Amino acid sequence: MLKLGVMVSGRGSNLGAIMKNISEGKLDAIVEVVISNKRDAQALRRVEEWNARADDDKKIETFTVERSSFADKDSFEENIASIMEEKRVDLIVLAGYMSVLGSKFTARFGARIINIHPSLLPSFPGLHAQKQALTYGVKISGCTVHFVDETLDGGAIISQVAVPVLDGDTESVLSERILKEEHRLLPETIQKLATNQIRFG
């Protein structure tokens, strides 16, 4: 049973997919803690809704840790790292966490951090990956789960799914098509790590 620490910044639909797979018994993991770097992240409301329905032992603890509350990036990430260590998480999952982690943080957890990104990396790292794909004119995009290093959407690739880019696609239509695959790929990849079908690092 993998203990997950999930980091979010926004909507939290990938976090939702993880929680759903756990509740359906498809993922041998528990979400030990969710840390948001945005106070108003919808992901936090999603956890509140989950907690309102969950038995006491299934409730998920959340923390908001904002960069603006700290003098520098290192001390901000040190705070997140100490929560993850205190909760003894086995795996940190970046599920729409929209900030690049520094090398102190990534070195501390080694290959125990993964990220999901809405493109076939190494193409289109960074913000608005789906828009970048449309602008470039690629006919196939997709999503990637990868181990995390200190570079933007960088680190060894673990799993990918290809998604077609169709004539007339808008950013939101393509994003939705990719997101459906993200919601499958991320829990599936975590399950493979949980069951040693994929090795850490």
> Mind telling me the catalytic residues?
117
| C-alpha span between 17 and 99 (Å, rounded) | 21
Q: What ranges make up the beta strands (E) of 42-190? A: 61-64, 91-94, 113-117, 140-147, 157-164
With CB under 6 A as the contact rule, the residue among 2, 44, 47, 116 that binds ligand GAR is 116
Question: Does residue 153 interact with ligand GAR by CB under 6 A?
Answer: yes
Give min distance, CB of 8 to ligand GAR, in A: 6
CA-CA-CA-CA torsion sign (94, 98, 102, 103): positive
Strand pairing category for 61-64 and 29-36: parallel
Out of 4, 129, 134, 148, point to the residue binding ligand GAR (CB under 6 A). Answer: 129
Binding of ligand GAR by 149 (CB under 6 A): no
Nearer to ligand GAR, 89 or 142 (CB): 142
- 26, 54 Cβ separation under 8 angstroms: no
Is residue 99 part of the contact set for ligand GAR (CB under 6 A)? no
Residue 159 is a binding residue for ligand GAR (CB under 6 A): no
Nearest approach in angstroms of CB 186 to ligand GAR is 8
Q: Which residue is nearest to ligand GAR (CB)?
A: 96
Q: Out of 32, 77, 149, 182, which residue is the one contacting ligand GAR (CB under 6 A)?
A: 182
Name residues whose C-beta falls within 8 Å of residue 51's C-beta, 6 or more positions apart in sequence: 59, 60
Phi and psi of 34, rounded to 5°?
A: -120, 130
Rounded Cα–Cα distance for residues 84 and 88 (Å): 6
Burial of 92 (0-12, 13-18, 19+ CB in 10 A): buried
Q: Which stretch binds ligand GAR (CB under 6 A): 10-18, 21-29, 74-82, 160-168?
A: 10-18
Q: Check binding of 123 to ligand GAR (CB under 6 A).
A: no
In degrees rounded to 5, what are phi and psi of residue 154?
A: -105, 160
In the list 6, 7, 12, 92, the residue contacting ligand GAR (rule: CB under 6 A) is 12
Contact between 38 and ligand GAR by CB under 6 A: the answer reads no
Question: Residue 160 CB, nearest distance to ligand GAR (Å)?
Answer: 12
Which residues make up the interface to ligand GAR (CB under 6 A)? Answer: 10-14, 95-96, 116-118, 129, 153, 179, 182
